[in-house]
Chain A
Amino acid sequence: MKFGVVVFPGSNCDDDILHVLGEVLQQETVALWHKESALSGFDAGDCIVLPGGFSYGDYLRAGAIARFSPIMRAVIEFANAGGQVWGICNGFQILCEAGLLPGVLLRNANQQFICKNTWLKVATNNSPITAALHPDKALKIPIAHADGRYFADTETLMALQQNDQILFQYCDAQGHVTEAANPNGALLNIAGICNRSRNVFGMMPHPERAAEPALGNTDGRNLFESLLQTARTMAV
């Protein structure tokens, strides 16, 4: 499988994702400039990553302008055709703005940017990035955002639960989903979700920041491994 990492003006985690996928995991990885209008050379078995950062400065609303970048039309087509799209942090916000994922990311409850390690409960194994994760072991993965409070209307939330679309929830080190463990006020402690077809994933925490022993934390690497493992299984 091949990875494409979209670079929007203001993306700042693009290099980090390229490093983890290309250098650490030795995958074929290409940077894609946002002005490109087609995803040439990618097929449904590949994965497009929308990285973290502040696309267009997040001056209007996080992700609100990036969704109009030329490449987004191609990304939406790619997703509708079954290709895998993974949005992390600002990428998650863009996916919500683009309508590929339900809900919105609001300003954190404490009105501040928060950068720290959080614990994540794996809420389902039914997605490529969670399939190989241990359901009972909390993952330590950092967040770094000002607008990460997941919000959706009750109907949408119920649909997310009924369809098993919640991928990650903020929890404590023991895996308990508690209010105290919720860093930003997200509804249902939601840290990450997928779409109904389970090929588009969005999450606020940064697994790419927890993928190397040199940084003292490899919990995030498991998500990438899970994705690769799922792809290998599918290929067989």
Chain B
Amino acid sequence: MQTIDKQATVKIAIDLGLTEDEFERIVEILGRTPNFTELSIFSVMWSEHCSYKNSIHWLKTLPRNGSRLLVEAGEENAGLVDIGDGLACAFKIESHNHPSAIEPYQGAATGVGGIHRDIFTMGARPIAALNSLRFGNLDLPHTRRLVRGVVHGIGDYGNCFGVPTVGGEVYFHPCYNQNILVNAMSVGIVKAGETVSAIAEGIGNPVFIVGSATGKDGIHGATFASADLTEDSADDLPAVQVGDPFQEKLLLEATLEAIQTGAIVGMQDMGAAGITCSTSEMSAKGKCGMRVYLDKVPTRQANMKDWEILLSESQERMLIVAKKGEEQLLLNVFDKWDLECAEIGEVTGTGQLEYYYHGELVAKVPAEALVLGGGAPVYKREYKKPDYIEQAARFKPNAINAPADYIETARKVFSAPNIVSKRWIYQQYDSMVRTNTMTTNSPSDAAVVRVKGTRKALAMTTDCNPMYVQADPYIGAMIAVAEAARNIVCSGGEPVAITNCLNFGNPYNPEVYWQFVQAIKGMGDACRKFDTPVTGGNVSFYNQSVLKDRTEPVYPTPTIGMLGILDDASRHMTLDFKAPRHQIYMIGTPQNDIACSEYLRIIHGVELSPAPYFDIDEEFHIQHNLKALIREGMIASAHDVSEGGLFTALVESAMVRGLGFEVETDTNFRKDAYWFGESQSRVVVSVALDIEDDLVNYLNAHNVPFTKLGEVKGTHIVIDGLDHGPLSDWKNLYDHTLGEKMEA
């Protein structure tokens, strides 16, 4: 019997992660029963990871238009933003959670490699990388092992690849004990008009596979990413890919050089679902078909099965459709870089993907039926508000007693893993290669990277406090967007657009799905307010810990990666106090709010409380005026108040130059809320004495709430006349706590 006629069964479909309904739908599409290879193709393409089947309905409600957008969300591998000067910026964030939980080093490394490929497959050169990491309780040896592995993996890949890791964020919380989150972001630059599309066009055009040979690693990785992480997941180790950053560096240089030959029609990197995904998505986009000879694919080992070649997620590979007759131009470039470049098929007009192996047709499926926006299923899941939300609302701040010893309390909050410097981590990343990183010597709330050949710089940040989102997914997601924008604005930038990485639990759990829907609504509202459309991103469901009697989803973590522009790089605003006698102000309104703060969790052990105070109009007003203050040169520093509250923000501004400060409490507020509360929309600024009046006049004239806190003075921290000790002691605590815990 011919392979094409060997009928697969519903049971196999279910084993591959498909449902019975989906199996029937496949039979209907093909007009016959699929074979195993075809079923495998559908299973990966209709997996959550590739099809977004449980999320796309809601993702479409996010704002996706803007005057600066050159490519809308979902159209290409990443979003594309016009940054002027004839340049565009491609940027995207993506998760690699499940592989990293099982094999932290390779999982994180290939996460970095994958997101960079998404950027340079469009023709953009990656200029910066960021990441957003979530780990469990740092006191657990298992957590420290994961931290070491992930950091090592990100470092080894990014350092060798030669793109600086310029920013990121790390949170620790027990909800991530088993299921860590590893989100990687890449930002690239391309000349407008020189981008390459992920499209197959032109009947008879040859199809090439370029880069690494295909091996058995990562087979069914996309399906793996779309299933619950369980005790047995370690048995799925072959589903984790292995990275080779050197190969990726060659692929980058060769690819960008190949684009210049003009011989490329379309190109797509191979990530999830390997050759299957790239051939089907490129064909569907071009409304054509492809004939692919799998035996022509260079493989790492003999006797690979057809479906293994189709599904392999071997890294550092690209699929290229070339102009017929100009193949040699491409071959010359890849030969120069010692990269394999094999012709494996051709574009057809049938709309069908026909895969041959040793002369025999092994699978034939319509491209359109496989892809998102085509035949891939779309589900609207039911959702239900979880009970814990009501519990959180019953939180009574007045039942929380103010601490007796404020200095000791400050020390405990300030040395918490979520607050302290992540230096032990980021020093293992090359943050300066390509010589554009302005924030190495001039730190600011967002990373700032100049664009050579222009006066511009790009500001970029990743943000999401999962505790806030757990407390209230709608408000928490709005805060994630608002904080990202605040970080960009505090750095002198104009927020432009976002990419998102939506990390949630199992979408078939109605309470998890409620969190998802609420977070999308909050994110959408905030993005509309700040005029920062969503250019793309990624959804990662099924993030949860399996306990003895139940599964526990991670806190909902919709990470925001935001891009901002500084039209004049010299307007970069930094967070450090500049000189003694500069006056310190807080812009924004203090609140009697301790909800959801690190202080509440660490000092009082309260896990459940509402999201911190947040008013989006107030936030917008503050940011709008802050931009003006920076533009007019009226402030010397700006630093947003976030985790750890006002106390932490002040010390962070003070430590950079070792300049102490003297400040007073506003006694109209609870003292603990004043110093440690995490109510939003507040920024610490400093101002030179001679223009202090100008600042105050501006704030009054524009109805911007503010409080004078005190002044930069000496080398100690002094609050309400009480000496909190030398700044150097606090700096020591801040710089070395994480390292000491990691090396313990």
The residues of A with any CB-CB pair to B shorter than 8 Å are 9-10, 12-13, 15-16, 19-20, 23, 35, 52-54, 56-59, 112-117, 142, 144, 146, 206, 208-209, 211-212, 214-217
CB contact under 8 A between A117 and B433, given known A54-B245, A59-B246: no
Contact of A142 among B161, B426, B432 (CB under 8 A): B432
In the complex the two chains form, what is the Cα distance from A13 to B162 in whole Å? 8
B142-182 interface code vs A (CB 8 A; 1 in, 0 out): 00000000001001100111100000000000000000000
Q: Are B440 and A214 in contact (CB under 8 A)?
A: no
Q: Are A12 and B435 in contact (CB under 8 A)?
A: no
Contact of B156 among A113, A116, A144, A214 (CB under 8 A): A113
**6 A-B residue pairs with CB within 8 Å:** A9-B250, A9-B338, A12-B433, A146-B159, A215-B441, A216-B438
B429 at the interface (CB under 8 A from A): yes
Q: Give chain A residues whose Cβ lies under 8 Å from the Cβ of B432.
A: 115, 142, 144, 206, 209
Nearest A residue (CB) for B423: A116
CB contact under 8 A between A144 and B433, given known A12-B161, A113-B428, A116-B427: yes
In the complex the two chains form, what is the Cα distance from A52 to B159 in whole Å? 11
Q: Give chain A residues whose Cβ lies under 8 Å from the Cβ of B450.
A: 214-215
Quick one: which of A56, A211, A215 has the most chain B CB within 10 A? A215
Q: Are A53 and B162 in contact (CB under 8 A)?
A: yes
Contact of B246 among A13, A19, A20, A56 (CB under 8 A): A56
Q: Give chain A residues whose Cβ lies under 8 Å from the Cβ of B250.
A: 9-10
Q: Give chain B residues whose Cβ lies under 8 Å from the Cβ of A214.
A: 438, 450, 569
The total number of A-B Cβ pairs within 8 Å is: 94
In the complex the two chains form, what is the Cα distance from A216 to B436 in whole Å? 11
Q: Give chain B residues whose Cβ lies under 8 Å from the Cβ of A10.
A: 160, 246, 249-250
Q: Give chain B residues whose Cβ lies under 8 Å from the Cβ of A13.
A: 162, 433
CB contact under 8 A between A117 and B162, given known A57-B244, A209-B432, A214-B450: no
Q: Are B156 and A217 in contact (CB under 8 A)?
A: no
Q: Give chain A residues whose Cβ lies under 8 Å from the Cβ of B156.
A: 113
Q: Are A54 and B431 in contact (CB under 8 A)?
A: no
B550 at the interface (CB under 8 A from A): no
A41, chain B: closest CB distance, angstroms: 21
Q: Give chain A residues whose Cβ lies under 8 Å from the Cβ of B434.
A: 15-16
Q: Are A19 and B452 in contact (CB under 8 A)?
A: yes
Nearest B residue (CB) for A53: B162
Q: Give chain B residues whose Cβ lies under 8 Å from the Cβ of A53.
A: 162
B442 at the interface (CB under 8 A from A): yes
B337 at the interface (CB under 8 A from A): yes
Q: Give chain B residues whose Cβ lies under 8 Å from the Cβ of A113.
A: 155-156, 159, 428-430
B437 at the interface (CB under 8 A from A): yes
Q: Are A215 and B161 in contact (CB under 8 A)?
A: no
Nearest B residue (CB) for A54: B160
In the complex the two chains form, what is the Cα distance from A161 to B434 in whole Å? 34
In the complex the two chains form, what is the Cα distance from A60 to B191 in whole Å? 37
B189, chain A: closest CB distance, angstroms: 13
Q: Are A57 and B160 in contact (CB under 8 A)?
A: yes
A124, chain B: closest CB distance, angstroms: 27
B455, chain A: closest CB distance, angstroms: 10
CB contact under 8 A between A215 and B428, given known A10-B160, A54-B249, A113-B156: no
Q: Give chain B residues whose Cβ lies under 8 Å from the Cβ of A20.
A: 435
B741, chain A: closest CB distance, angstroms: 15
A119, chain B: closest CB distance, angstroms: 14
Taking chain B's interface residues, is the majority helix, strand, or loop, or is none over half, making it mixed? loop
Contact of A115 among B160, B428, B442 (CB under 8 A): B428
Assuming A23-B452, A113-B430, A115-B432, what are 20 further A-B pairs, CB within 8 angstroms? A9-B337, A10-B249, A12-B161, A12-B162, A16-B434, A52-B433, A54-B160, A54-B246, A56-B246, A113-B155, A113-B429, A117-B440, A144-B159, A146-B159, A208-B435, A209-B435, A214-B450, A215-B435, A215-B440, A217-B441
Q: Give chain A residues whose Cβ lies under 8 Å from the Cβ of B426.
A: 115
The residues of B with any CB-CB pair to A shorter than 8 Å are 152, 155-156, 159-162, 244-247, 249-250, 336-338, 426-438, 440-442, 450, 452, 569
Q: Give chain B residues whose Cβ lies under 8 Å from the Cβ of A117.
A: 440-441
CB contact under 8 A between A216 and B338, given known A19-B452, A54-B249, A115-B432: no
10 nearest A-B pairs in the assembled complex, by CB-CB distance: A12-B162, A57-B246, A216-B441, A54-B160, A144-B430, A16-B435, A216-B442, A115-B430, A209-B432, A113-B428
A21, chain B: closest CB distance, angstroms: 12
Q: Give chain B residues whose Cβ lies under 8 Å from the Cβ of A52.
A: 433
In the complex the two chains form, what is the Cα distance from A58 to B151 in whole Å? 19
In the complex the two chains form, what is the Cα distance from A58 to B156 in whole Å? 11
Q: Give chain B residues whose Cβ lies under 8 Å from the Cβ of A217.
A: 440-441
Quick one: which of B159, B161, B337, B452 has the most chain A CB within 10 A? B159
CB contact under 8 A between A114 and B428, given known A16-B433, A215-B435, A216-B441: yes
Q: Give chain A residues whose Cβ lies under 8 Å from the Cβ of B336.
A: 35
Nearest A residue (CB) for B337: A9
Q: Give chain B residues whose Cβ lies under 8 Å from the Cβ of A142.
A: 432, 440
Q: Are B430 and A19 in contact (CB under 8 A)?
A: no
Q: Are B435 and A114 in contact (CB under 8 A)?
A: no
In the complex the two chains form, what is the Cα distance from A40 to B430 in whole Å? 34
Q: Are A115 and B435 in contact (CB under 8 A)?
A: no
In the complex the two chains form, what is the Cα distance from A209 to B433 in whole Å? 8
In the complex the two chains form, what is the Cα distance from A114 to B152 in whole Å? 11
Q: Are A12 and B249 in contact (CB under 8 A)?
A: yes
In the complex the two chains form, what is the Cα distance from A19 to B159 in whole Å? 20
In the complex the two chains form, what is the Cα distance from A179 to B437 in whole Å? 29
Q: Give chain B residues whose Cβ lies under 8 Å from the Cβ of A216.
A: 438, 440-442
Q: Give chain B residues whose Cβ lies under 8 Å from the Cβ of A115.
A: 159, 426-432
Q: Are B442 and A19 in contact (CB under 8 A)?
A: no
Nearest B residue (CB) for A208: B435
A46, chain B: closest CB distance, angstroms: 23
Nearest B residue (CB) for A116: B427
Q: Give chain B residues whose Cβ lies under 8 Å from the Cβ of A56.
A: 246
In the complex the two chains form, what is the Cα distance from A53 to B431 in whole Å? 13
Q: Give chain A residues whose Cβ lies under 8 Å from the Cβ of B438.
A: 214-216
Nearest B residue (CB) for A183: B427
Nearest B residue (CB) for A140: B441
A180, chain B: closest CB distance, angstroms: 13
Nearest A residue (CB) for B125: A15
Q: Give chain B residues whose Cβ lies under 8 Å from the Cβ of A15.
A: 434
Nearest B residue (CB) for A52: B433
In the complex the two chains form, what is the Cα distance from A214 to B249 in whole Å? 27
In the complex the two chains form, what is the Cα distance from A30 to B338 in whole Å? 22
Nearest A residue (CB) for B452: A19
In the complex the two chains form, what is the Cα distance from A59 to B426 in whole Å? 23
Q: Give chain A residues whose Cβ lies under 8 Å from the Cβ of B159.
A: 54, 113, 115, 144, 146
CB contact under 8 A between A112 and B428, given known A54-B159, A56-B246, A57-B246: yes
A88, chain B: closest CB distance, angstroms: 12
In the complex the two chains form, what is the Cα distance from A17 to B155 in whole Å? 22
In the complex the two chains form, what is the Cα distance from A9 to B249 in whole Å? 8
Q: Give chain A residues whose Cβ lies under 8 Å from the Cβ of B161.
A: 12
In the complex the two chains form, what is the Cα distance from A144 to B164 in whole Å? 11
A186, chain B: closest CB distance, angstroms: 17
In the complex the two chains form, what is the Cα distance from A92 to B140 in whole Å? 40
Contact of A215 among B162, B244, B249, B437 (CB under 8 A): B437
Nearest B residue (CB) for A216: B441
In the complex the two chains form, what is the Cα distance from A114 to B437 in whole Å? 17
Quick one: which of B337, B338, B433 has the most chain A CB within 10 A? B433
In the complex the two chains form, what is the Cα distance from A209 to B336 in whole Å? 29
Q: Are A19 and B435 in contact (CB under 8 A)?
A: yes
In the complex the two chains form, what is the Cα distance from A65 to B628 in whole Å? 54
Q: Give chain A residues whose Cβ lies under 8 Å from the Cβ of B246.
A: 9-10, 54, 56-59
Contact of A58 among B160, B427, B428, B440 (CB under 8 A): B160
In the complex the two chains form, what is the Cα distance from A59 to B450 in whole Å? 32
Contact of B245 among A57, A116, A146, A209 (CB under 8 A): A57
B253, chain A: closest CB distance, angstroms: 8
Nearest A residue (CB) for B151: A112
